[in-house]
Structure 1
Amino acid sequence: MNYQTFEPNKNLNTFIKCYWTLESSKEEKNHRQTIVPDGCIEMIFHYGDLYSQYLENGDSTTQPRCFVIGQLTRPLIIEPTGITGIFSVRFHPDGFLPFTTLPIKDLENTAVSLEKLFGKIGQEIELKILNADSTSERINHIETFLLSRLTDIQTVDRIVKSTVDTILTANGQFSVDELSKQININRRQLERKFSTIIGLSPKQLSKTVRLQATLKMLLNNKYTSLTSLAYEGDYYDQAHFIKDFKEFTSLTPKEFYSNNLKMSSLFYGTD
């Protein structure tokens, strides 16, 4: 697998974390992959073969060729059906609101086609991205599309952005009460804002960010034991750490490391 990331235009970096591509060759075998929640909404374009997505009951469905997948609150199990070719826009946790036509919360754990989100212009940008000859051309097309929809910069909520920045800087280790005091806002008001703008509560985002930080230590071998890893992540104890880990990955830390190291390192060890 060849995974690469690209920086967004400075006019969009408030909203977009990065663009990324993932490609495979004919020789590479297909394996199921666990995508762990990371607090970001993604806009995915499959210019290669499609992916199967496995549901909680074990059934599978084929992902749309082009779609937005909302906030994940549980692990997403996917499997390539052939040769991978993916171009994706990874939004900051609070970055997708200015571009959506649907409530953010309605996108949770759901792959929504661009046609459903944007109508005819959604179909048009799909064709441009899929028919492009290079990543730079795809980036030019998607930035033109997104900038044309960015009509009101005031949709950026400064309170939410400040809180998100605090959560990211602290690796999710602040409680919601501590966050609301630091930002000087009522807890319920903060939770309503997060639900509308991000699609997660402050607690959910903090848990996600904390696990991601711990995952990176795991994948980069920056720990001496699971107990030390739990301590570094500011979990109450190892049992609390394993409970949260299984909630987001469906596996124990040991199982995840052995089964998913190669694929996960593409997404969590490089950006």
Structure 2
Amino acid sequence: MDYQTFRPHSDLEAVVNCYWTLEVPAENNAQRQRIIPDGCIEMAFILGDDIKRYSSQDEFILQPRAMVLGQTIEPFYIEPTGYVNTFAVSFYPYGFANFVSIPIKNLANKETPIELLFEPNAAKELEQNIIQATTTKQRIEIIEHFLLGELNDTRTIDKIVKMTIDVLQATNGSASINTILNEDLSKRRQLERNFIKQIGVSPKQLGKVIRLQTALKMLLSEKAESLTHVAYESDYFDQSHFIKDFKEFTGVNPKDFLGNENMALSTLFYR
């Protein structure tokens, strides 16, 4: 697997986390890969062979070749049908709402073709330009030109939503919403409504995903002395709480995560 990341232009760095590319040679017996929620929304372009996304053990769809993958709160499986070649944009949790007018909650837990989110002719032209480009540098220039043209006023994002995400990220997802709001419970309902609309998941769900990221990175860094140590360093109440949340978002226990062939792709992303 060849996975690379690239920094965005300074005019987009407040909303775009990174650009990434992934190339994997075709394999006769490719393993299904479990994709774990990471709190980000992504716009992806499939440049290689088709990729299956499983909705059950035996049922699948072919992912759109130019799509936006909204917030996910549970793991799902994908399976390449051959050569994998993907170019993608990873947006910060509040990033993608700056480019579209529809509620972000409508994108959650599914792939949406880009022509349903942007002017269809412009979306089709973008897809064709990305496909015809011969280098990652060219693709980044193409997507940045498009995004800068679509960028709304960044004040689109509610200040309290932005502040809440900043605090959750700074505290690895462990800060309580009541603490962030200084115990002003009158603001909580409004925050949750705006969060669902602009982020796609609730503040609590995003906090759990961010905290899981901290634990995953610790497991993969080989600095973990024990599961109890990981739970403590990631601000879980105890080891059982950590294992419960870990299994909710990955589908497996922490001990079964490392070395799991179905987790190879997620392991690569989190490293």
TM-score, length of structure 2 as denominator length: 0.94
Distance 1:227 1:147 in 2: 45
Deviations 1:222-250 (A, max 9, x none): 21111221122221222211111111011
What is the match of residue 95 of structure 2?
A: 95
Distance 1:183 1:44 in 2: 39
Distance 2:134 2:111 in 1: 25
Distance 1:48 1:175 in 2: 43
The amino acid of 1:265's aligned partner reads: T
Aligned residues: 269
Contact 2:20–2:90 (8 Å) recurs in 1: yes
What is the match of residue 127 of structure 1?
A: 128
Distance 2:198 2:36 in 1: 21
Aligned CA distance change for structure 1 residues 201 and 234 (closer, same or farther; 3 Å): same
What is the match of residue 266 of structure 1?
A: 268
- 1:44 aligns to what SS in structure 2? strand
Q: Which structure 1 segments of 5+ residues have no match?
A: none
Identical amino acids, percent of aligned pairs: 49
Distance 1:168 1:204 in 2: 13
What is the match of residue 4 of structure 1?
A: 4
Taking the TM superposition and a 5 Å limit, the aligned residue runs for 1:7-46 are 7-26=7-26, 30-46=30-46
The amino acid of 1:112's aligned partner reads: T
Distance 1:101 1:45 in 2: 22
The amino acid of 2:40's aligned partner reads: C
- 2:182 aligns to what SS in structure 1? helix
Contact 1:97–1:155 (8 Å) recurs in 2: yes
- 1:243 aligns to what SS in structure 2? helix
Report the alpha carbon displacement of residue 134 of structure 1 after superposing the two structures with TM: 0.5
The amino acid of 1:267's aligned partner reads: F
Distance 1:89 1:171 in 2: 23
Deviations 1:9-28 (A, max 9, x none): 11111110000000123468
Contact 1:219–1:261 (8 Å) recurs in 2: no
Contact 1:70–1:107 (8 Å) recurs in 2: yes
Contact 2:178–2:185 (8 Å) recurs in 1: no
Contact 1:159–1:183 (8 Å) recurs in 2: no
Which sits farther off after the overlay, 178-187 or 189-198?
Answer: 178-187
Distance 2:29 2:84 in 1: 11
The amino acid of 1:238's aligned partner reads: Q
Taking the TM superposition and a 5 Å limit, the aligned residue runs for 1:146-157 are 146-157=147-158
Contact 1:24–1:84 (8 Å) recurs in 2: yes
Q: Root-mean-square deviation (CA), in Å?
A: 1.8
TM-score, length of structure 1 as denominator length: 0.94
Report the alpha carbon displacement of residue 122 of structure 1 after superposing the two structures with TM: 1.0
Distance 2:185 2:10 in 1: 30
Distance 1:179 1:151 in 2: 27
Taking the TM superposition and a 5 Å limit, the aligned residue runs for 1:223-238 are 223-238=224-239
